[in-house]
Structure 1
Amino acid sequence: MQLNNEQALYEEPHQDLVSGHTELSRALSQDLDSLFGDPVESVNSDSGGIKPMDSADAFPCQGDPAYGLQWTKNGDFISLKPKWTVEPTIDSIILTLRKAIDSHKQYVVQHHWNGVYSKIYHVSYDGIRLILKIYLPVCPKFMTESEVATLRWVDEHTRLPVPKVHCYDSSLNNPMGFEWILMDRIDGAPLFECWKSTTQGAKERIVKQIAEYAAICFTRQFRGIGNIYYPLEPRQSNSHPFVGEMASMAWTKSRLCLISAKLRSKLDEATNEGHCRTISDMLDLVDRLRKLEDKFFLTPEPFRDSGQSIYEDEPADEEDTETINERGNPYERTMLWHDDISLDNILVDENGVLQGVIGWSCVSCLPLYDACQFPAFLHQAWDRPIEPRTPYRVTRTHLESEGDIVKYDVELRQHHLTLLRRIFIDEMMQQCPGWVDVFHRQGTRRDYEVAVQNCDNEFAYKVVEEWVGAVEENFDHNKSVWSLQQCLIR
């Protein structure tokens, strides 16, 4: 167990209201955790019913590294979804807190929400209000430790407000039998709940704060793709993070060889003729994407050409041999990228002032082409530079046409997002012109990565096929094609 003063979060969000609610976007978001959840239950450790911990029930996992985890079919016939087979009890949570903090404290524990990969509980003692996040062991040890390290890095190097970690355990050797993080509770409401009541000026201030964070991440680059970790021994306050094991299932999935192996395994198991045909089409799509890879990606540039700060050491010079990886190739230039700064994960107060950004699970260091893009809450398929005309019925006391009102609200949100996107780019241009250069020049690479991530998605692979066909037809003629990324976020 590690006790520290780092920081952590609550969890991943559900669907962004501004992006719309099409069937495709629902399908693409079906694995994301929601910030909100089930009815609460609570127990006070002083209310009785909490038995003392003994050696028999101290570690219920009994050495099982997958304790409480089962993989099940996820609606379609391709992907799998993690399932909780064991529920952490309130008793076991309080026993864990007694062991980690103080056995003499009185703890109030209240269930808050269930996610796919984690569960959230409100914890309080001595007037302190905290959040307890309990993980399924989908990526044992790495998911917990990388989240703690990421939030420590963000707190130390940026001004973006994030929760503080009080303590955590990246093992299963505790009365709950699960990994966990205990962190400060951030007061505030998700921005999607108060989007209409928040002024445009307040939204602009939030955009500028997030732009500042993105600029800092760009200027403090890392070596290689993966999650970041801090050395555990010895514990040094000035130690640099290193890039290690990738805890993000999404980016691991994006490697074509792994996707192909999974699809071939599914093809061997499939008995339905339609399923077999779909899997065969996906395998063909994987082969076509492999053939396109060399067109999109050249050998990565060495770090010495970037002019940016490199972690683990000071900026590299001409003789820096550590810019070469174990295969003799230059390391990929990467930066920390939070791919889900959505309206769910931006917490604000009643005046629209940013209180914190959450949702840091599996945040990774990704290539610059993938990381230099709009934050999730500014994603939309097309811009609306002109403010929509207010429908006559909207101004009347009796609202006779709900359809007109809904359409107007959607168009007004699109217009406001368009203005905010401009502010974000302007702010990045002032603070970090290099980021803007990558953003404008590397859009086709981002589309290719989106294609790889969705080539085995039952609900999206047909759209990917259309994009691949357009690329195959136009690439050698240097003709631009439509944006796959924008198409899939409609």
Structure 2
Amino acid sequence: MATSRQEGGMDHADADSGVPTYDDDDYLLLPFGADSLRSWATSIRNTLISNGDIATYNANPVPVVCTGVLASMPGSYNIVFPLQFNDGVRWALKVPQAAGLTGFSNPAARSMATEVLTLYILRQQTTIPVPRVHHFYASMNGSLKYPYILTDFIEGIPLDELWFNSKIPDDELLSFRTRVLQDLAKAMVQLDRFRSRRGGAPKFNSQDQLYSVGALRTVDIAASEDTPVWCNVGPFTHATSYILALFDRQESPTQPFEAGIRKLLMLFVLWLSELDDYDSQDFVLTHPDLDLQNILVTKEGNITGIIDWEGVAVVPACLGNLCYPPFLTYDWCSAVRDSNPGESQENAAKGSQELQHLRAVYLDIIEGLYRSMGTQCPATTRRSIVIKNLKLAADDPFFTRPVVERVFRTMKQDVGKPLAVDGWELNLREVARNLAEDAIDTRTINVLKDGFLHVFNSL
């Protein structure tokens, strides 16, 4: 995560530049402070210059020195320290937050190496704006005594600061958003070239080709409380096993209604196999969290960087690069919308109609890109609003009930006829109770299945 956002912590300032900087008190349990970090960064950069790995950026070369460590930028699992050099260059040092407490496991090291190699290959084979990696060390035993990735600092404004900009007219905001979506779609379509018949953590060969996958390191959300609990899942040969990977690790609720909701979610996921091309779909390289905070833009809406590729994975195409980005689907489930910190209640009230329009804009852009390539656009984007929410519900028990309720409500609205058996309209509480007690009949199951599949016909 290398952004220009200055946030969090204490507010110190460099006397010469006025730029916020941090002192040793802000480094928590990290084995370095601001002074040692400046010295280390100076040494690393000069070593890379002397080795011919990078060049200076100065017409009149002077000794390159790291002159400042700017305000740190904490994320969910990492902290980024912007490093300012005396020749105008700015780098970003990304370190894992918890390694000082939990250590740095072999799976964590493999995940970091995968992220670095993915960034390198994306820069070589696509025009996706990702940071250039200068150096990394996936161990606690290096010169910094801490694992790290050193990249260029990408200039840009995090999209979450501008997406809900109420200070400009609506037509200007729509133009801004449309430019963002155009750039984003062009970037995501390029990931199509990285496909596999299996899913998991990507592995590249010496020709920088995606040739295999390994186990995927991810957070077990249900098991995580104050600190994240990491686990390894996969590799996968089918989309269903990928969607249910974390779901299968969870204990079933003892409360009958919640247990029935969980069983209905399982049925929804299994019924996805009835969709055209679902069982034969490939897996595709995909950004792990393509949300607002990980997209950097200009004030005009041009994307300057797509960041935070930690956990990059080869996932089922139905959950992959052609899906709607999360910020276009917040309205679909109230629990997801309410968990979005960037959107006020006022924005949420009017947001559904806007988001429906923006989804149509994004879909039109995606379809246009495929037409320009002479290729038929898959149904992935249209379907993703439902399938991504099912994956969210399977991963995180907090979202299981609200997502199932939303799907069931959509089934009743879109099926074109009453969701009923023998004239009795089905209600979710009764369906869930009967599922929990294994007392549901085949006819009811078939009505539910038909209603669920009809949702995709109406998208």
Shift of the 190–213 alpha-carbon distance from structure 1 to 2, 3 Å rule, reads same
1:112 counterpart residue number: 72
Shift of 1:350: 3.1
1:54 counterpart residue number: none
Q: Is the partner of 2:134 in helix, strand or coil?
A: strand
Q: Which amino acid aligns with 2:111?
A: M
Shift of the 119–441 alpha-carbon distance from structure 1 to 2, 3 Å rule, reads closer
Shift of 1:415: 4.3
Q: RCO higher in 1 or 2 (8 Å CA, sep ≥ 6)?
A: 1
Equivalent-residue separation in structure 2 for 1:228 and 1:449 (angstroms): 20
Match of 1:170 among 134, 138, 160: 138
Q: Is the 8 A contact 1:133 1:182 kept in 2?
A: yes
Equivalent-residue separation in structure 1 for 2:7 and 2:453 (angstroms): 36
Asked whether 1:431 is paired with 2:391, we answer: no
1:345 counterpart residue number: 294
1:297 counterpart residue number: 273
Q: Is the partner of 2:216 in helix, strand or coil?
A: coil
- The more displaced of 91-100 and 144-153 is 91-100
Asked whether 1:239 is paired with 2:208, we answer: yes
**CA deviation digits over 1:318-369, x for unaligned, max 9?**
xxxxxxxxxxxxxx61112224322222222233332222232212111011
Shift of 1:461: 3.6
Q: TM-score if structure 2 supplies the norm length? A: 0.62
Shift of the 246–260 alpha-carbon distance from structure 1 to 2, 3 Å rule, reads closer
Asked whether 1:179 is paired with 2:147, we answer: yes
Equivalent-residue separation in structure 2 for 1:258 and 1:284 (angstroms): 18
Q: Which blocks of at least 5 consecutive residues in structure 2 are unaligned?
A: 16-27, 48-62, 222-231, 234-241, 334-343, 409-427, 436-442
Q: Is the 8 A contact 1:199 1:352 kept in 2?
A: no
**CA deviation digits over 1:432-456, x for unaligned, max 9?**
36544233457664454233212xx
2:450 counterpart residue number: 479
Q: Is the 8 A contact 1:226 1:244 kept in 2?
A: yes
Equivalent-residue separation in structure 2 for 1:199 and 1:338 (angstroms): 26
Shift of 1:111: 4.0
Q: Is the partner of 2:292 in helix, strand or coil?
A: coil
Equivalent-residue separation in structure 2 for 1:282 and 1:408 (angstroms): 31
Shift of 1:423: 1.6
Q: Is the 8 A contact 2:282 2:317 kept in 1?
A: yes
Shift of 1:257: 6.8
Q: Is the partner of 2:379 in helix, strand or coil?
A: helix
1:386 counterpart residue number: none
Q: Which amino acid aligns with 2:147?
A: E
- The more displaced of 339-348 and 118-127 is 339-348
Asked whether 1:10 is paired with 2:14, we answer: no
Asked whether 1:207 is paired with 2:181, we answer: yes
**CA deviation digits over 1:403-442, x for unaligned, max 9?**
xxx7765555544433322121111112236544233457
Q: Is the 8 A contact 1:142 1:245 kept in 2?
A: no
Match of 2:394 among 452, 456, 462: 452
Shift of 1:123: 0.7
Shift of the 483–246 alpha-carbon distance from structure 1 to 2, 3 Å rule, reads farther
Q: Is the 8 A contact 1:260 1:283 kept in 2?
A: no
Equivalent-residue separation in structure 1 for 2:386 and 2:347 (angstroms): 32
Shift of 1:483: 11
1:124 counterpart residue number: 84
Asked whether 1:101 is paired with 2:101, we answer: no
1:66 counterpart residue number: none
Equivalent-residue separation in structure 1 for 2:115 and 2:173 (angstroms): 32
Shift of the 142–435 alpha-carbon distance from structure 1 to 2, 3 Å rule, reads farther
**CA deviation digits over 1:157-203, x for unaligned, max 9?**
33232221111112222243321111111222122223324642232
Shift of 1:381: 2.1
2:359 counterpart residue number: 421
Shift of 1:222: 2.4
Shift of 1:151: 2.0
Q: Is the 8 A contact 1:474 1:480 kept in 2?
A: no
2:19 counterpart residue number: none
Q: Is the partner of 1:480 in helix, strand or coil?
A: helix
Shift of 1:262: 5.4
Shift of 1:127: 2.2
Equivalent residue runs for 1:24-43 within 5 Å: 36-39=7-10
Shift of 1:479: 2.8
**CA deviation digits over 1:93-139, x for unaligned, max 9?**
34543553336742232341223321110112232111110123374
Q: Which amino acid aligns with 1:122?
A: P
Equivalent-residue separation in structure 1 for 2:181 and 2:384 (angstroms): 22
Equivalent-residue separation in structure 1 for 2:8 and 2:83 (angstroms): 16
**CA deviation digits over 1:253-299, x for unaligned, max 9?**
777576555548xxxxxxxxxxx856x98777666655665433379
RMSD: 4.3
**CA deviation digits over 1:445-474, x for unaligned, max 9?**
4454233212xx2x3343356568669786
Shift of 1:85: 5.0
Q: Is the partner of 1:476 in helix, strand or coil?
A: helix
Q: Is the 8 A contact 2:196 2:210 kept in 1?
A: no
Shift of the 333–174 alpha-carbon distance from structure 1 to 2, 3 Å rule, reads same
| Number of residue pairs the alignment of both structures matches | 348
Asked whether 1:89 is paired with 2:40, we answer: no
Equivalent residue runs for 1:60-459 within 5 Å: 85-86=29-30, 88-94=32-38, 96-98=40-42, 100-102=44-46, 105-107=64-66, 108-125=68-85, 126-135=87-96, 136=99, 137=104, 139-195=107-163, 196=165, 197=168, 199-231=173-205, 238-242=207-211, 243-249=213-219, 256=244, 259-261=247-249, 263=251, 277=254, 294-297=270-273, 333-371=282-320, 372-381=322-331, 409-411=347-349, 413-432=351-370, 434-440=376-382, 445-454=387-396, 457=397, 459=398
Q: Is the 8 A contact 2:132 2:152 kept in 1?
A: yes
Equivalent-residue separation in structure 1 for 2:128 and 2:246 (angstroms): 35
Q: Is the partner of 1:186 in helix, strand or coil?
A: coil
Equivalent-residue separation in structure 2 for 1:175 and 1:282 (angstroms): 51
Q: Is the partner of 1:171 in helix, strand or coil?
A: coil
Q: TM-score if structure 1 supplies the norm length? A: 0.59
Shift of 1:370: 1.5
Shift of the 116–294 alpha-carbon distance from structure 1 to 2, 3 Å rule, reads closer
